[in-house]
Amino acid sequence: MRVAIVTESFLPTANGVTTSVCRVLERLRAAGHESLVVAPRPAPRSYAGHRVHAVASVPVRQFPVGLPSGEIEEVLAGFRPDVVHLASPFVLGARGAAAAQRLGLPAVAVYQTDMPSYLAQHGRGAVGRGAARAAWGWVRRVHAMADLTLAPSSAALDDLARNGIPRTALWGRGVDTALFHPGWRDDAGARALRRTLAPDGETLLGYVGRLAPEKELHRLAELAAVPHSRLVLVGDGPCRVEVGAQLAEAVAQAPGRPNRAPVFLGRRDGDDLARAYAAMDVFVHTGTRETFGQTLQEAAASGLPVVAPARGGPLDLVKHGVTGYLFQPDTPGALGSAVAVLAADPAARASMGAAGLAGVAGRSWETLVDQLLGHYESVVAARASRAA
């Protein structure tokens, strides 16, 4: 099968969209399929043996946004794909959807970024609500051009249904259990990292992800007073300085004997990221606008208990009281209380970490891409049937 992937994000930018696209490309190559990637500059010339066509982009909050020019249609026409995969379409992907429609190509859109909520967060009152309504209107228009829209969680499916997005189905995300696993705790590098971060045996409370407003990292201030603990953040983004100052102040102002200052490890990939997970004791996620939550799966595969908001994608990924805790994001102190319970109970951490590991055992990317190929084939067959 020939698959054209038009993606809003790709390497070297690190986020959930990029990760998903990369894993799909790797599995497509392994299964003998041919792909072309259309992505914003800068981008590598190829990935996993597939050609990458980079288009001009402009930076928005340190994020390259691809410009939706007519060259996308020319590239698709030249490649002649069997199906077009639209990865989190909004700007570049919108042009990809229109191009696929004009060329008569089947298209599968993957809904992954809750842009309406992000826009509402950055506006206030009526302005934010108006921006969200306008964004949903645009999302409806873009996804209506696709033969099928895939959502990563039950919460995302509900959002799409409430906002009139047609032809939807559930498609989750895989996790690389060959890379993320508890065995890293015995790695010399992981042990050395832990000694550096917790020289007095502190409980390490970790976050992995982009440091941006939509991640709501201000919530981590509730953890400043968890006794004998230390915050560890992995990732980078536009809020690095602001979040660092806010969390350092929260720790310094905590009653009693203050904990060590939070530490930022920057962006980590591959083995270095796996070592970072292995050094942690509890994984904490704060964003309430996640359509899925890939880092929650990676943490679970690493044997960590997970604490996340009882909203959005985490509802499908965390079994409350079994693999971690879901906290009520509208209740002040709920996050801090949940984490404090785990910080004080190593046995509970071990039990929940083991349960989380068992829960992700069957979520390989090979299985998930097989499901994706099934969706591709269904839209191709439906198009052929209508044509006949």
Q: Are residues 200 and 102 in the same domain?
A: no
What would the pLDDT profile of 339-350 be if each residue is shown by its tens digit?
999 999 999 999
Residue 384 contacts by C-beta under 8 Å, 6 or more apart in sequence?
none
Q: Are residues 25 and 100 in the same domain?
A: yes
Q: Which residues of 7-29 are buried (b: 16+ CB within 10 A; e: fewer)?
A: bbbbbebbbbbbbbbbbbbbbbe
Distances in Å between the alpha carbon of 115 and those of 128, 188, 213?
A: 12, 41, 13
Are 318 and 296 in contact by the 8 Å Cβ rule? The answer is yes
* Residue that is written with structure tokens 């959807």 in the block: 97
Q: Give the containing element (helix H, strand E) for 300.
A: helix 294-301
Q: Are residues 239 and 349 in the same domain?
A: yes
Q: Are residues 204 and 153 in the same domain?
A: no
Dist CA 68 CA 361 (whole Å): 39
Whether the pTM exceeds 0.95: the reply is: no
Model pLDDT, residue 19 = 92
DSSP 135: H
What would the pLDDT profile of 82-129 be if each residue is shown by its tens digit?
999 999 999 999 999 999 999 999 999 999 999 888 887 766 778 888
Q: Are residues 230 and 157 in the same domain?
A: no
Range of the domain at 273: 182-359
Alpha helices in 15-114 (DSSP H): 16-30, 71-79, 92-103
Count up the domains in the chain and report the number.
Answer: 2
Are 307 and 325 in contact by the 8 Å Cβ rule? The answer is yes
Dist CA 188 CA 100 (whole Å): 50
Q: Are residues 351 and 381 in the same domain?
A: no
> What's the CATH code of the domain at 327?
3.40.50.2000
Dist CA 187 CA 190 (whole Å): 5
What would the pLDDT profile of 276-313 be if each residue is shown by its tens digit?
999 999 999 999 999 999 999 999 999 999 999 999 99
Q: Are residues 111 and 231 in the same domain?
A: no
Q: Are residues 345 and 220 in the same domain?
A: yes
Dist CA 212 CA 155 (whole Å): 22
Q: Are residues 211 and 151 in the same domain?
A: no
pLDDT < 70 stretches in the chain: 122-123
Q: Are residues 375 and 295 in the same domain?
A: no
Nearest to 223 by CA among 210, 237, 205, 207: 205
Are 281 and 195 in contact by the 8 Å Cβ rule? The answer is no
Q: Are residues 354 and 369 in the same domain?
A: no
Q: Are residues 146 and 218 in the same domain?
A: no
Dist CA 276 CA 17 (whole Å): 21
